[in-house]
A and B are shown apart, each in its own frame.
Chain A
Amino acid sequence: GQNIDQPTEMTATEGAIVQINCTYQTSGFNGLFWYQQHAGEAPTFLSYNVLDGLEEKGRFSSFLSRSKGYSYLLLKELQMKDSASYLCAVSLTPPSGGSYIPTFGRGTSLIVHP
């Protein structure tokens, strides 16, 4: 199947660390993306993982375990502007073969409070 699961909502305190998990059950998996989307705006790219391990980019890090079908996005030193929806998207090879197409999870709404 192509189930991509993320928590619906999370809350955290300014300055803290938060981890947003994403699990997927899919065949044809090729890579995983994280996007940030502020309310009413377009999603913007945060990170990409294709190999197992941690990718760090400033305050944001993303981890992937292909064998476990699991990823997380780690946000450090939270700021109020980090309040947004975080979308996990997996890059899949279609059953009929061909090029990779992305499939999105439902997103996790993160609320950062003072």
Chain B
Amino acid sequence: DADVTQTPRNRITKTGKRIMLECSQTKGHDRMYWYRQDPGLGLQLIYYSFDVKDINKGEISDGYSVSRQAQAKFSLSLESAIPNQTALYFCATSDSPVGRELYNEQFFGPGTRLTVL
């Protein structure tokens, strides 16, 4: 079974619609992240959360919001989708072991391919 899962895997929606992408993990990690990836570009950080009560904006948070419902769940919402939000979205987790705070290898979900028409 996958440690980091994302639903849906593919979604086609229309401009102006609200959409939620969900991420769940069974790794027991405190840290969770949402990224988007566009062709020719790297992974751009949208939001990140270091625990249930902690939410932080990344480099491209405009037009997005998140909810950390539990340690294992981190959802990304597009309140009013627009075509330039068409992209591949990845959720990721990492650990923060005591004494190894510098080391935060990330584990990625399989991705959600979102198309906004």
Contacts and interface: CB of A to CB of B under 8 A. Distances in A.
Interface string A28-67: 0011010100001111110010100000000000000000
B43 interface: yes
A104 interface: yes
B102 A100 contact: yes
A21 B70 CA distance: 39
Interface in B95-115: 96, 101-111
Interface residues of A, number: 26
Interface of A: 4, 8, 30-31, 33, 35, 40-45, 48, 50, 87, 89, 91, 99-107
30 contacts: A4-B42, A31-B102, A33-B106, A41-B111, A42-B108, A43-B90, A43-B106, A43-B108, A44-B108, A45-B107, A50-B102, A50-B103, A91-B104, A99-B50, A99-B96, A100-B101, A100-B102, A100-B104, A101-B48, A101-B56, A102-B33, A102-B45, A103-B45, A104-B35, A104-B42, A104-B44, A104-B45, A106-B41, A106-B42, A107-B42
